Homo-oligomer: A and B are copies of this chain.
Amino acid sequence: MTQKELPLILVSNDDGVDAPGIQNLIETLVVFAKVVVVAPNGPQSAKSHAMSINQALYYQEVTPSNSHQNLKVYSCSGTPVDCIKLALHGILEQKPDLCVSGINHGSNHGINVIYSGTMAAALEAGMSGIPAIGFSLLDYDYHANFKPGLKYVKEIVMKVLENKLPKDVVLNVNIPKLPENKIKGIKVCRQIQSRWEETIDIHEFPMKQHYYWLSGTFLTQEPNTCMDTDHWALENGYVSVVPTQFDFTAHAFKKELENWNW
């Protein structure tokens, strides 16, 4: 296969260009693809679909830790969504065949998808008609072991390169924190109904100003017997794959709302 025939894959994340998760992703992809990385220059976790307006953003090409002829790496001062916009309209000379975001240090299943910068990068690429996948490992540790999931990353990337994805569909893939021989395979799922229950630790200043820290607990809102959810899959040793979209319309309620006698 000549250099020209290799697929072009755009890579980003929200943990920053130096995070082990994206390094593992790059090493997995670069053996069969031309890879261009445009990723934040530091942590941008939980930045969701935020973009930077009314401010200048900075980027530069950086020397990757594992240099490879198929690899170029850019570091950007913006959010994950800023990185994708920059890549598509400022850096890449052609439309990529695929955009892959991650591997995130921590879960993006259930309601986490709405807070996730990793998934926002994938969704932003999807909006421009580029097949896209976000990968996350259920381990928040900076030194998490990404190796057991890498064969699934490769399998899913290959399948999407082969089959493409429909317009406006992006894959949200989560990998359980398990050794390779305990992962049972891949399961296509839906997003579980879930939310975060916050705890706020408030302290008072002398001048009546307050400061506080947020923390929280992930709560599922469906019984454990719902076997079609991403949460069930992950709890039962599967890699979860949720087809994900960005039409926020609550279609099922539209008819009833029309009858509210406006």
Residues of A within 8 A of B (CB): 45-53, 56-61, 79, 81-82, 85-86, 88-90, 111, 113-115, 120, 123, 127-128, 159, 163, 166, 168-169, 171-172, 185-188, 190-191, 193, 195-196, 198-200, 202, 208-214, 241-251, 253-254, 257-258, 260, 262
Partner of A52, one of B88, B195, B214: B214
When all copies of this chain in the complex are counted, the total is 2
**CB neighbours of A241 from chain B (8 A):** 257, 262
Q: Say which residue of B59, B214, B243 sits within 8 Å of A212 (CB atoms).
A: B59
Contacts of A211 in B (CB 8 A): 56-59
Whether the pair B249, A248 counts as a contact (CB closer than 8 A) is: no
> Are B58 and A260 in contact, CB atoms less than 8 angstroms apart?
no
Which applies to chain A's interface (DSSP): helix, strand, loop or mixed?
A: mixed
CB<8 Å pairs between A and B, sample of 7:
A49-B114, A60-B210, A82-B214, A85-B200, A86-B200, A114-B123, A169-B253
Contact A57 B111 (CB under 8 A): no
Partner of A208, one of B47, B60, B90, B254: B60
B residues less than 8 Å from A195 (CB atoms): 127-128
Q: In the complex, A244→B249 CA distance in Å?
A: 5
- What residue in chain B is nearest A47 (Cβ atoms)? B50
4 closest residue pairs by CB, A with B: A48-B49, A245-B250, A243-B250, A90-B200
A25 to B45 CA separation, bound complex (whole angstroms): 32
Report whether B198 and A85 are in contact in the complex, using a CB–CB cutoff of 8 Å. Answer: yes
B188 touches A258 (CB 8 A): yes
B245 touches A188 (CB 8 A): no
B-chain residues with CB within 8 Å of residue A244 when the two chains form the complex: 248-250
Residues of B within 8 A of A188 (CB): 254, 257-258, 260, 262
* A168 vs B111: C-alpha distance when bound (angstroms): 11
A256 CB, nearest partner CB in chain B, Å: 8
Give the distance in Å from the alpha carbon of A191 to the alpha carbon of B247 in the complex. Answer: 7
A113 to B52, CA, bound (A): 16
B90 x A202 contact (CB < 8 A): yes
